[in-house]
Amino acid sequence: MTGTQAMADTSRLRHGVFHSVSMLTAMFAVMVMPIGGCSKSTRVTRVDTNLVTDLSGRWNDTDSQEVAKTMVKEALSFPWLDTYTRANGRPPVVVVGTILNRSHEHINTQTFVTDLQRELTNSQKVSFVAGKGEREEIRDERREQAVHAREETQKSAGKEVGADYIMKGNISTILDEADGIKAVFYQVDLELVDLESNVKTWYGQKKIKKVVERKRMLF
Amino acid sequence: MRVALCLIVLFGTAACSRTVNRYALIEDSLMAGNTQRADQIVEQAEPDYGAESHVLYLMDRGMTLHLTGRYQASTDMLDQAEQEIERLYTRHLRTEAKAFLINDSKLTYEGDPYEQTMINVIKGLNYAVQGNWNEAVVEARRIDHRLNVLGDRVNPKDGYRDDAFARYLSGLFFEIAGDLNNAFIAYRKAYEAYQQARPWARTPVPPSIRTDLLRMSQALHLDQEHEQYRREFGELVWQPYSDTHDLAQVIVVTYNGRAPRKEDRLIDLPVSLDALKLVLLTKLPPRAQSQERRALESVLYGLNGHVVRVAIPVLVPQKTDVLYAEVTAADGAHSVQARTQLVQNFTAVAEKTLADRLPGISVKAVARAAVKYGLADGVRHGARAAGGKDKEARLIGFIVGSLAHALAIASEEADKRSWRTLPDEIQIARLWLPPGSYELRTHSVDHNGRRIGHDSGYAVTLHGGETKLMTERVIP
């Protein structure tokens, strides 16, 4: 091997080593060093309350409102309402009972009950009376009035309007999940029961199906 | 410039690999019965956990809050942990690459599958202690879903693909909430899971599951199953559901001992004869695994430049001394006694989980060590070549190269993270009592029949059909 060849080989080796070191270093630095300017900051945006916000796939305010609206509308479109109104000369009185949570999520059923109450009240087709918990509070208030309020302003006991029907039901879920794809199937069952005869006057069902997909790898 | 950048990065990672041993302080506080202090230690250590271990912080905090009796706060923490784990399903290439080049503790911690199941178990217990059985049942449903998904994902011959204890606890929740059908299914799955895990779980089938299965199958008129269990279990004293329905029930859950911890097992591989001599020299006694010794080894191996270090996690059991706890309920005239039964052995579960994961961890660790070695060697050659042939430049090359090798060795450590505020074992006792007021006392007994830990006592008033669940933490 001549001196020139040896020098050329050394140069190539040096170049090769430099190249590999540069590559490795660059790769290491890009992957390891935190990228500047990626810092998160809180941003608050006001949105329309009717805007559908499906963030996690869980039961949310949109589901609660939509189900309540659809199911009350459906319940009031059935013949039992006209039949009762004609027979008694007044709209029926309805109370909302217990909505059981039989799902995989900690659902605040009270919000759903409130949505049902609102839809029933605003329909103007039925009279609506306070539920069990609220009644206790109102009775306490009347008892307080009997002691502390002026006589002409006191509200007397025994004049409550009894409900003709109770609306009750449950929310249940079926889950299926594999490879980052989760299917959540919500089923809301509601029924209207005649408080005198225990006859189930109406039975409604609303189903919601959501598919949540997650990517396994991102850059 | 490039070399300097690389070194800065390596320096930074070495500094980040510092771990804070907070668990000794937590365990001391728990041993002294000071759960508040244990919770404060976890709370104050939040910055030390860092972003990579935020889920671990939430799990540790969820547990210490549970022990202090702040059940809603504990549930909130564990809720966050659960959501974070869901989010972590999506992995980030940059984080994976960073962990591959430095060490696995740079990965975002999402907990082992049994730890993820325990999130729902502790949440369920939070609701149960407060008597909120409907919400406890929601956690039972979540446990069922989690374990079903795990069962689909994990190879049937592998170890942890179901959780007998979580299934059993779900059965309790369903039964107490009045959902007997789901209770029966949960008990049956628990019974099968205990049997399947027998080779490694070191947890025999708790005797109470047999009576639970007999009681539920009879209550549901599942005559065929009932007869099958009667034949299988032989002569067993059990009460029909109709006899227990009007009684009150006390469930005592004891958390005994400390969960196992992980340590580094360092394997130093010499790639030259000189390096072999050096490695043998450093392996001479005394073999204390102190930080100073590791630093010294890093320097020596760095100077030599021909040693590759691989770090593998090993589990160190911290077995409890508790054999069982004696629970006594006395109402002045009568007293009823029961012994707790082992329902979960976390040390065995953690050992099996690590054993299943070890081949993957080892392959990754060897590959990482090889890449680090190549990188450090590249830096050494690069620095030497950049400096030219004079003596001073060669010296700079040697120093830079040695430093790169030393940092590659120093940054190698195993991922030693685990949910260490969990106990070593969980035991359960169930007592059916006539309605009334009771003085409830528990004391733990060790393998020699001696009382250990603190005796505890509560006054409870129980109504017919009511269930009260209590928890007890015993450290030794």
**Mutation site, B381, B384, B394, B411, interface A, largest A CB count within 10 A:** B381
**Mutation site, B3, B7, B8, B9, interface A, largest A CB count within 10 A:** B9
pLDDT of residue B289: 60
Closest partner residue to B149 (CB to CB) among A20, A100, A177 is: A177
Assess whether pLDDT exceeds 70 at residue B437: yes
> Tokens 């659960």 — which residue?
B82
Q: Check CB contact under 8 Å for B91 and A216.
A: yes
Tell me what the mean pLDDT of segment B31-53 comes to: 93
Quick check: B264 and B414 in contact, CB under 8 A?
Answer: yes
Tell me what the mean pLDDT of segment B81-105 comes to: 85
- For chain B, give the percent of residues with pLDDT over 70: 94
- B269 in A contact zone (CB under 8 Å): no
Q: Which residues of B touch A56 (CB under 8 A)?
A: 83, 86
Measuring CA to CA, how many Å separate B452 from each of A11, B309, B444, B447, B474? 75, 43, 5, 10, 9
Tell me what the mean pLDDT of segment B103-110 comes to: 88
Instruction: Please tell me the pTM assigned to this model.
Output: 0.83
pLDDT of residue B333: 81
Across the A:B interface, residue pairs with CB atoms under 8 Å apart total 87
pLDDT of residue A126: 92
Cβ atoms within 10 Å, residue B136: 25
Quick check: B13 and A32 in contact, CB under 8 A?
Answer: yes
- B307 in A contact zone (CB under 8 Å): no
Q: Check CB contact under 8 Å for A103 and B141.
A: yes
pLDDT digits (tens, 9 = 90+) for B43-72: 999 999 999 999 999 999 999 999 999 999
pLDDT of residue B304: 83
Assess whether pLDDT exceeds 70 at residue B8: no
- B152 in A contact zone (CB under 8 Å): yes
A22 or B94, greater pLDDT: B94
pLDDT digits (tens, 9 = 90+) for B145-156: 999 989 888 776
Q: Check CB contact under 8 Å for B97 and A31.
A: yes
Q: Check CB contact under 8 Å for A214 and B2.
A: no
ipTM of the complex: 0.73
Quick check: A111 and A64 in contact, CB under 8 A?
Answer: yes
Helix axes B346-387, A3-32, angle to 10 degrees: 140
Nearest CA in chain B to A56: B83
**Mutation site, A18, A39, A106, interface B, largest B CB count within 10 A:** A106
- B362 in A contact zone (CB under 8 Å): no
- B16 in A contact zone (CB under 8 Å): no
Q: For each of chain A's 219 residues, which pLDDT tens digit applies?
A: 444 454 444 444 444 444 444 444 444 444 444 444 444 556 778 878 777 777 777 888 889 999 999 999 999 999 999 999 999 999 999 999 989 999 998 888 888 999 998 999 899 999 888 888 788 889 999 999 999 999 999 998 898 999 999 999 999 999 888 888 889 999 999 999 999 999 999 999 999 999 988 887 777
Q: Check CB contact under 8 Å for A17 and B385.
A: yes
pLDDT digits (tens, 9 = 90+) for B344-364: 999 999 999 999 999 999 999
B391 or A31, greater pLDDT: B391
Q: Check CB contact under 8 Å for A104 and B145.
A: yes
| Cα A179–chain centre separation | 25
Q: Nearest CA to CA, how far is A149 from chain B (Å)? A: 38
Q: Which residues of B touch A103 (CB under 8 A)?
A: 138, 141
Assess whether pLDDT exceeds 60 at residue B20: no
- B389 in A contact zone (CB under 8 Å): no
- B381 in A contact zone (CB under 8 Å): yes
Q: Which residues contact B248 (CB under 8 A, 6 or more apart)?
A: B432, B433, B434, B435, B436, B462, B463, B464, B465, B466, B467, B468
d(CA A137, CA A129): 13
pLDDT digits (tens, 9 = 90+) for B375-388: 888 887 887 777 66
List the one residue out of B267, B259, B264, B210 whose CA is nearest residue B239. Answer: B210
Q: Nearest CA to CA, how far is A32 from chain B (Å)? A: 5
- B98 in A contact zone (CB under 8 Å): yes
Q: Check CB contact under 8 Å for B101 and A28.
A: yes
Q: Check CB contact under 8 Å for B6 and A103.
A: no
Tell me what the mean pLDDT of segment B381-397 comes to: 75
- B394 in A contact zone (CB under 8 Å): no
| Cα B187–chain centre separation | 24
Q: Check CB contact under 8 Å for A24 and B375.
A: yes
- B6 in A contact zone (CB under 8 Å): yes
